[in-house]
Structure 1
């Protein structure tokens, strides 16, 4: 599903760009938009969260050597955009938003029900630098990168119960670096910017179970989120 969405987005942008290049388009929409020092907008999008694990000991009992498997699902993003123009090709952007996602967490053990469903609601705040190419007719490709932080409102970090009582726990605060690309499309009434971005947590987000031999957390040295965001920004 995720690959289908990315392919559809890429095909849409490619077809629209090709049409403008080869049609000899000369009517420019939103001609003065990029002259603004400040601009504002909002975004809607999809996300897919997973985890990257580092283990204390290699586990030969499973073919991958891993103690857990993650089931990724599509989530939803919504938020606001504040854009500061630095010069003709660089912008500084603040994109506070809320991300909703659910992941499945399966510990490998044949004689127990080890599946956990992890529902997360993140208040996500990225500070990004956007590099824009020069505008060509009504489109403008860009790359974007920066750092971010989030508050996981569903973390259960301070819950005294752990997986022995059915509670999976994560840290409330996380820190990331982000990198991605997209294209600005200057439409008649507004600017639409579809983009794809990778999001990579820096810190360990796992709150370990009380038992050092827990099948959920005992052999995990570090657990960090990895995510893909597909956002549609309207300005």
Structure 2
């Protein structure tokens, strides 16, 4: 999926750059002048987990993570700091599901070997967006920032752990994201597709009540890692 997203951005950039070299009429010529503007975004994500193991388990990885495609939706508040630098707040909801397979357990008992972790979380990123100068009706950019995520599906306070079938994660987490994109100035609005990678800073796992749990004892760090495709309308 990441390769498809990158190809999509490159094709958009190449097409609009070619057209932009011929087209002299600027769409929305004053769009970037106001100090503040707003918008919204829709998108898709494919999120998994980065799993690191305790030293005694490093040579024998225990967990296979199978991500699925989810969705993103949210709002955009954009503050112009400079002609080529903007500070953005992009609160939104994101949802996806990961399947964890504990490979060291017998295949005959799927109830013990597999955990499906559904997540719906409030994503609150603060992002710096650095853009090139506008080339007629296009403007490439890079972005990066840090986010607070509130996981509504975490089960953090559930006393039942994996021995009762519940894989638990923390409710509050910190991530950072990096991305590239392109602003396309259309007749009535600005359309901005972007590709972003998201990476957890905090450890999200809640360990089982038993210190020798076969599900959580091998894991030293478990954190979200994924790719977003955002389509912004401003």
Inter-partner Cα distance in structure 2 for 1:4 and 1:90? 28
* Partner Cα distance (1:220, 1:193) in 2: 39
Partner of 2:139 in structure 1? 140
Determine the C-alpha separation between the residues in 2 that align with 1:47 and 1:18: 30
Match of 1:79 in 2: 74
The answer for the alignment partner of 2:109 in structure 1 is 112
* Structure 2 unaligned residues grouped into runs of 5+: none
1:2-21 superposed matches below 5 A: 2-21=2-21
- Alpha-carbon distance between aligned partners in 2 of 1:232 and 1:123, rounded to the nearest angstrom: 18
Q: Is the 8 A contact 1:67 1:215 kept in 2?
A: no
Give, in whole Å, the separation in 2 of the partners of 1:136 and 1:6. 21
For 1:182 and 1:5, locate their aligned partners in 2 and report how far apart those are by CA, in whole Å: 10
Structure 1 residue 178 displacement after superposition: 1.3
What's the offset of the Cα at 1:6? 3.9
Aligned to 2:29: 31
Alignment of 1:30-49 (within 5 A): 30-49=28-47
CA displacement at 1:151 relative to structure 2: 0.2
Gaps of 5+ in 1: none
Say which SS state the counterpart of residue 176 (structure 1) adopts. Answer: strand
2:92 is aligned to 97
* Equivalence for 2:122: 123
Question: Partner of 1:69 in structure 2?
Answer: 64
Q: Give the alignment's Cα RMSD to 1 decimal.
A: 1.5
Distance 2:8 2:84 in 1: 27
Q: Deviations over 1:143-199 (max 9, x none)?
A: 111111110000000011111111110000000111111000000010000001111
Q: Is the 8 A contact 2:5 2:195 kept in 1?
A: no
Q: CA deviation at 1:5?
A: 4.2
Secondary structure at the aligned position of 1:31 is classed as coil
The alignment status of 1:163 with 2:158, answered yes or no, reads no
Q: How many residues align structurally? A: 230
Find the residue that maps to 1:34 and give its secondary structure. Answer: coil
